[in-house]
Structure 1
């Protein structure tokens, strides 16, 4: 098993375990630190969606920092099992909901609205283009979208990149709707 560390908040320094799985690349500590500097260290009361949860680093980090609700969507059985084990390790924080499913099916079926969506889909598979039209239905007006991709992203629908960085081969972006 591989591990990733929660870097801030209530669960700070806790290690999450995750299996090897094709396309699974946990967001590195330094990138998560940058992201939460951009967002503000606390996510008190926010509703977050981690659409390709993978290791759970982003979703559990959001829960650790006070998010009111974090929905983590994952379809790979071994990876899903590890998410559930990590949830139990953290004493099952009630803000966290783990859903087995496909990203597009989840977006099509949920009535929930989110303040922040984490998108870190498998690379080279066209996920970001396929998700773009489904995202507005689940986003609040002032919601933010965090995206990791193999290339730069200027926008997703009405959301524009306001901050971006690069770590190795990973481009990471924070998008918001213009005021």
Structure 2
């Protein structure tokens, strides 16, 4: 059974529905590295960081068994037909940053009520933004992006790149491209606090 947080307690989080985002082929950025550099996403450093992030989120009850859950709300592509979102500060490797955890639910018959009653049955993926230290990716708010499957393993794009790091940076599609359309300058759709 999940811990519950009321909509009033998470009013800022409940409205984080993402509009118009796509993630199919990622345009030109398949995460490829150039000589002497790490790929923008899906490389060994990004994958290791994503694994540490998942572990920290588990310890904070943000993902996994008995995780905190907000009130489910109607979602849309690319995330899911129903979503629930939690946002809070979290420390990882000595850095305190904000994490936004969006659980993406789907399947035939999915509804907000069905998700509230049995979230594990409908969970398809978990998308995460974690605000890293200054200098990580200043052009994009220093956000680390990851898309996990329900078991905590990383999802992959059509080029078989694991979705962790500066996902699709420089592309016209994907996490960063979509979130650059958010109002304000923090790449978050619901508010401009970061």
Shared fold, TM over 0.5: no
Q: Which structure shows the bigger proportion of residues in helix conformation? A: 1
TM-score by length of 1: 0.30
Q: Which has the higher contact order (CA 8 A, sep 6+)?
A: 2
TM-score by length of 2: 0.28
